């Protein structure tokens, strides 16, 4: 698991140029770029690293800084970062994964404005805690608090980072039902080694398993 920084599948896109000038200049302009990595800091939005055509690298820009290369800036709506990404990073330890089953699949997420925004899957960022010797003050491994961030390429030209409970997927040969489901947040924790059993104290390869005697004291 990465700490702080992680590679992502490269995204050839455009950056809103004002983000390269601390939002103070060049509004309405854009520059081509390649997004190649992220920074994950607890309490911060996901931040992206880019390479620019002049050879400069710019670190730690929000997802709202970017739009797709094939779009004209004037035709892409400027959306705030909290409209595109619902939650901050859950820890300093991100995992980036490209789920084969979701590659190029269509999806739509419901935004804060209660409108659906459709797009296509790119990759997923998830979070965890690396080891027990490091104090865990975050929420990444609490069952009912866990969120991932699926990175979507939106039809309006922007990108989004949304969790499972804001996305409905369109898998042509499987997702045949319509409407938002009424599922409940998972609060259960699943552990198979606390079920009151003990293994046989032996060197046998196929050792026996018995129910552990209960301590009635």
pLDDT single digits (tens) 149-172: 999 999 999 999 999 999 999 999
pLDDT tens digits for range 200-216? 888 899 988 888 777 65
> Is 85 in contact with 162 (CB distance < 8 Å)?
yes
Spatial CA neighbour of 95 closest among 120, 124, 121: 124
Give residue limits of the domains in the chain: 5-182
Q: How many CB atoms are closer than 10 A to CB 31? A: 17
CA distance 151 to 102: 11
> Is the pTM of the predicted complex or chain greater than 0.95?
no
Q: Is 150 helix (H, G, I), strand (E, B) or coil?
A: strand
Output the CA–CA distances (angstroms, integers) from residue 143 to 116, 128, 187, in the order listed: 27, 12, 5
DSSP annotation of 103: T
Spatial CA neighbour of 50 closest among 16, 99, 2: 16
Q: Which residues contact residue 127 at a Cβ distance below 8 angstroms, ignoring those fewer than 6 apart?
A: 40, 89, 90, 91, 93, 94, 95, 138, 140, 148
């Amino acid at each position: 698991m990465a700490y702080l920084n992680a590679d992502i599948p490269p995204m050839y896109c455009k950056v809103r140029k004002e983000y390269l000038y601390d939002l103070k200049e060049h509004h309405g302009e854009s520059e081509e770029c390649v997004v190649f990595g992220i920074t994950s800091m607890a309490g911060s939005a996901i931040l992206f690293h880019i390479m620019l055509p002049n050879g400069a690298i710019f670190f730690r820009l929000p997802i709202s800084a970017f739009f797709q290369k094939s779009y004209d800036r004037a035709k892409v709506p400027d959306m705030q970062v909290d409209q595109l990404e619902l939650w901050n990073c859950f820890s300093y330890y991100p995992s980036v994964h490209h789920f084969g089953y979701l590659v190029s699949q269509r999806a739509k997420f419901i935004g804060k404005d209660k409108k659906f925004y459709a797009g296509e899957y790119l990759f997923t960022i998830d979070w965890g805690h690396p080891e027990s010797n490091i104090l865990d003050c975050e929420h990444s491994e609490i069952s009912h608090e866990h969120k991932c961030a699926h990175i979507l390429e939106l039809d309006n030209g922007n990108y989004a980072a949304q969790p499972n409970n804001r996305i409905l997927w369109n898998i042509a040969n499987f997702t045949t039902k319509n409407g938002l489901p009424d599922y409940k947040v998972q609060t259960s924790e699943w552990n198979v080694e606390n079920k009151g059993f003990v293994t046989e104290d032996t060197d046998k390869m196929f050792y026996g398993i018995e129910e552990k005697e209960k301590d009635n004291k």
